Amino acid sequence: MRAINRKLFRDISNMWGMVFVIALMIICGSATYITFLSTLDSLRQSQESYYQEYYFSNVFASLKRAPNALASRVREIEGVNRIELRIQSGVNLEVPGFDEAVTGMVTSLPDEREPLLNRLYLREGRMPNPYVENEIVLGDGFAEGHGLSTGDKLMAVINGRKKELTIVGIGLSPEFIFQGQPGNTSGDLLRFGIMWMRRSPLEAAFDMDGAFNNVVLSVTRGTNEKDVIVQLDQILKSHGGLGAISREDQNSHFFITEEFKQLKQTATIIPTIFILVAAFLLNVVISRLVRTQREQVGILKAFGYTNYEIGIHYSLMVSVIVLIGLAGGILLGHDLGQRLSALYASYYRFPFLHFEINLWDLIAASFICMAAAYSGVFFSIREAVTLPPAEAMRPEQPKIYHKSILEKMGASDLLDQPTKMILRQMGRQRMKIVFGVLGVAFAIALVMLGRMSNDSVKYAVEVEFRQANLFDLGVSFREGISKHAIMEIQRTPGVYYSEGYRSVPVRMIAGHRRYLTALEGHYTNMKLRQILDTEQQPVEIPVEGLLMNKTLGEILKVESGDTITVEFMDGSGRMAQIPTVGFIHQYFGLGCYMNIEKLNSLLPEKSLVSGSYLAIDRAYEDEITAFLKESPFVGEIISKHRMIERFYESTAQTWLIIALFISLFAGATAFSVVYNNARISLSERNRELASLRVLGLTRGEISYILLGELAIVVLVAIPIGFFIGWGITYFTLWSMQTELYRIPMNITAATYALAALVVIVSAVFSGWLVRRKLNRLDLIGVLKTRE
């Protein structure tokens, strides 16, 4: 091996501490980048191939009831490819040993063939036998959650009749990647079960002989789905059509799309910020590393090494470090990516989720790291080689120092010599100090970014769910029922108070802008829920007109006072003109609210309620739930407290893991910066410090000179880091907004404390490591040879 390459490896192994921390930064930066982006890609690819291979439909429509013969008319719509007529309905389920309310959805399978659309992927077992009653294929998420498998039995209330069902297969379909109740924002694998049955037993159960209540279509390439929907709505109108929708509005697809949108923001912004910060720091430490070798550059030049050869030498050195870092980053990214996609796969059910590192993400990560490192090398090498070698070869000239500002202000007498040394040193190397401060500040910002989801989403959940909702239980009815039923519920033991509401699916139309959402009718003196205006103050439901979610208002470009067209999608086909009287504030969802009596007056069936809020004695929660479940009218029962708990268990847990992981990375980064700063100062100044030791200063005193600077850097960096962290968090949240989620900015005191703690701990740790090095400072060695 050539001597110069030997120098390279010896240098690397002599500086392994610094090499390690630089590599660590690259590992953190590239691993985050690869983990998030590759997870997103893997999910997307899985979704795409799943949709294709299992024929996910393009258009979905529910209706009251229509004869199968109607299919021929649907087929005539231009652009329609495949059609499947189905019976689909909500059911109530009972799982042995699970007390909470469980609802589900059953979908028919053709008796003697596979469905043409939304085919099933069987994880285990078989399809139900044709014409056999009571055999089902159960959704895999629900089965997994309850530990059910083929051969197990399940009780179901189907159209008011109790039945025992046998699970013959466990499966899933592209229609239910997200398995949650329609309208519920979080998927729930335990309380919502998907199942499939052959058509004939369902025909019998729902009295649907030769009829269907749900139709799905696929369209040929290039067809405008909107046109198909308009025509389909026409055909289904007289059969109680509830409005056809495209994939965009299909529950599962909508949620995955939203989630992917959000993941994409997270997966782009956070790792990009991370890798850019890492790249910046990498650049700084590499340039300083090369600068410490200035004299060696001088020697090599004196012997006639060309600038090019010297450049190659240091680039190779850096390449080795970067490659070590990237290799680590890829390994870690692969492992974390697998875990993260597994975490997503537990909410989003895919038959296969193959995690793969995306080649382009890998190339991008490598490119960013390499570019940062090489530009660091390039500029510092250029600086080193433009000096005449004589400069570097001359016995060290005393550098030029100035008195520090503090001294100039007259504090000179108050400061001891070592403190003056610290201040003058800092004054001489202002750029170094600036970069050091920025490096630590960015590490602080990264910790804050890691805690962002946690802080802000928790805050939103607390405000939206806990403070705005004063009820304990929310009950929705299968169909609208008479408002007198509310009185009955109120008489149930343990129920303090009950309040009905009506929720109707609507299409909001303002000019050419339209949006599908729900219009909720509430009593004006509603007690169990609070609607907050844009200033977050409670508002009353107006007697006339509706209150609209602010974001929806922006989507529809509606101003306060504008009259909006409401098309009721409940099968009645009614339309109404309603004035918008105000806007409200919500972090999740896009609801509209009005007076219930006013709403009822617009609809054919008056004085109905579709759900009710209950304030209860929580000691009786289980009994009340059990009692309500018995009623055939009751659909979903939401326990607010359990929902919040569940939210923290699932989603918040994911965020906690991500926050922990990012904080660890940020900590590692802070450590790298601080350690590098200290190590490089040490090697730049070891002659000076050794000389001081020779003059009789103690180890403590020289540590103070070196580490005092470090302490000042960290202390100055903390407030700056808070500021940068605030800015980055604000930017990230702003860019992560979707129609469904608008997450408020909230940085808790705990986050500030954690961020400061992370860098202080890493600073103390690296200070300790450097102190150990100082203690072992080889006085004779340092003074004898020149580095």
Partner 1 sequence: MNANVANTIAHETIFSTRNLTKTYKMGVVEVQALRGIDMEIYASEIVVLLGASGSGKSTLVNILGGLDTATAGQVHYRKVNLTEASESELTSYRRLSVGFVFQFYNLIPSLTARENVAIVTEIAEHPMKPEEALALVDLEERMDHFPAQLSGGEQQRVAIARAVAKNPDVLLCDEPTGALDSKTGIIVLKALQKVNQSLGTATVLITHNVVIGGMADRIISLHDGKIAGIRENKVKRLPEEMEW
Candidates 75-83, 246-254, 384-392, 580-588; binding stretch for partner 1 (CB under 8 A): 384-392
Query: Considering only 297-305, 375-383, 573-581, 622-630, which stretch makes contact with partner 1 by CB under 8 A?
Result: 297-305
Among 132, 204, 390, 405, binds partner 1 (CB under 8 A): 390
Does residue 304 touch partner 1 according to CB under 8 A? yes
**Minimum distance, C-beta of residue 280 to partner 1, in the bound complex (Å):** 29
CA distances from 527 to 81, 129, 468, 534, 786 (A): 51, 51, 10, 20, 81
- What DSSP line would sit under 555-616, residue for residue? HHT--TT-EEEEEETTTT--EEEEEEEEEE--SB---EEEEHHHHHHHSSS-SEEEEEEEEE
The one among 113, 221, 512, 784 contacting partner 1 by CB under 8 A: 784
Please state the closest distance from residue 13 (CB atom) to partner 1, in A: 9
* Shortest distance (Å) from residue 395 CB to partner 1: 6
CB 304, min distance to partner 1, A: 2
The smaller minimum CB distance to partner 1, of residues 6 and 153, is found at: 6
Q: Which C-beta is closer to partner 1: that of 215 or that of 392?
A: 392
Q: 686 vs 766, which CB is nearer to partner 1? A: 686
Q: Which of 94, 133, 144, 295 binds partner 1 (CB under 8 A)?
A: 295
Alpha-carbon span 109 to 775, nearest angstrom:
77
Rounded Cα–Cα distance for residues 603 and 592 (Å): 16
Residue 155, SS3 per DSSP: strand
- Beta carbons of 244 and 59 less than 8 angstroms apart: yes
Given 78, 112, 309, 617, the residue binding partner 1 (CB under 8 A): 309
How buried is 453 (Cβ within 10 angstroms: 0-12 exposed, 13-18 middle, 19+ buried)?
A: buried
The minimum distance between CB 2 and partner 1, in angstroms, equals: 5
Is the torsion defined by CA of 280, 284, 285, 290 positive or negative? positive
Residue 62: HSE in the Cβ half-sphere, 13 Å Cα cutoff: 12
In eight-state DSSP terms, residue 250 is S
Minimum distance from residue 3 beta carbon to partner 1 (Å) = 4
Mapped onto helix, strand or coil, the DSSP state of residue 2 is: coil
Cβ contact 77:232 at 8 Å: yes
Instruction: Single out the residue of 184, 307, 469, 683 in contact with partner 1 (rule: CB under 8 A).
Output: 307
Least separation in angstroms between residue 295's CB and partner 1 is: 7
Cβ proximity to partner 1, 315 vs 639, nearer residue:
315
Q: What character string, x for contact with partner 1 (CB under 8 A) and - otherwise, covers 540-569? A: ------------------------------
Give 175: exposed, middle or buried? Use CB within 10 Å, 0-12, 13-18, 19+.
buried
Q: With respect to partner 1, which residue has the nearer C-beta, 395 or 410?
A: 395
Task: Tell me which of 72, 151, 749, 785 binds partner 1, using CB under 8 A.
Answer: 785
Which of 14, 52, 530, 653 forms a contact with partner 1 (CB under 8 A)?
14
> What residue has token string 């001359």?
394
Q: Which stretch binds partner 1 (CB under 8 A): 328-336, 386-394, 480-488, 672-680?
A: 386-394
Sheet of strand 80-86, all strands in order from the earlier edge strand to the far edge? 80-86, 211-219, 59-67, 245-246
402 binds partner 1 (CB under 8 A): no
CA-to-CA distance for 493 and 627, rounded, in angstroms? 10
Asked if 303 touches partner 1 (CB under 8 A), the answer is yes
Report DSSP state, residue 169.
E
State yes or no: residue 306 binds partner 1 (CB under 8 A): yes
Q: Which stretch binds partner 1 (CB under 8 A): 7-15, 210-218, 444-452, 601-609?
A: 7-15
**C-beta of 86 vs 693, nearer to partner 1:** 693
Task: Provide the pairing of β-strand 135-139 with 161-172.
Answer: parallel
Residue pointed to by tokens 């875990």: 339
Using CA atoms, how far residue 369 sits from 40, 271, 364, 745, in Å, is 21, 13, 9, 31
- How many residues touch partner 1 under the rule CB under 8 A: the total is 32
d(CA 209, CA 207): 6
694 binds partner 1 (CB under 8 A): no
* Binding track over 327-366 against partner 1, x by CB under 8 A: ----------------------------------------
- Minimum distance, C-beta of residue 302 to partner 1, in the bound complex (Å): 5
The answer to whether 299 contacts partner 1 (rule: CB under 8 A) is yes
The separation between CA 428 and the C-alpha centre of its own chain, rounded to angstroms, equals 45
Look-up: residue for tokens 């297969």? Answer: 169
Relative to beta strand 135-139, strand 121-125 is: unpaired
Which of 28, 66, 11 lies closest to 442 in space, CA to CA?
Answer: 28
Q: Which residues pair with 139 in a beta bridge?
A: 171
* 12/720 with CB nearer partner 1: 12
Provide the minimum distance between the beta carbon of 687 and partner 1 in the complex, in angstroms, as a whole number. 11
Structure tokens at 117: 């659309």
Q: Which of 127, 276, 343, 393 binds partner 1 (CB under 8 A)?
A: 393
Per-residue x/- track, 653-692, partner 1 (CB under 8 A): ----------------------------------------
Can you state the percent helix, strand and coil of the chain, rounding each to 5?
55, 20, 25
Task: Choose the binding region for partner 1 from 261-269, 303-311, 582-590, 708-716 (rule: CB under 8 A).
Answer: 303-311
**List of residues contacting partner 1 (CB under 8 A):** 2-4, 6-7, 10-11, 14, 295-296, 299-307, 309, 388-391, 393-395, 781, 784-787
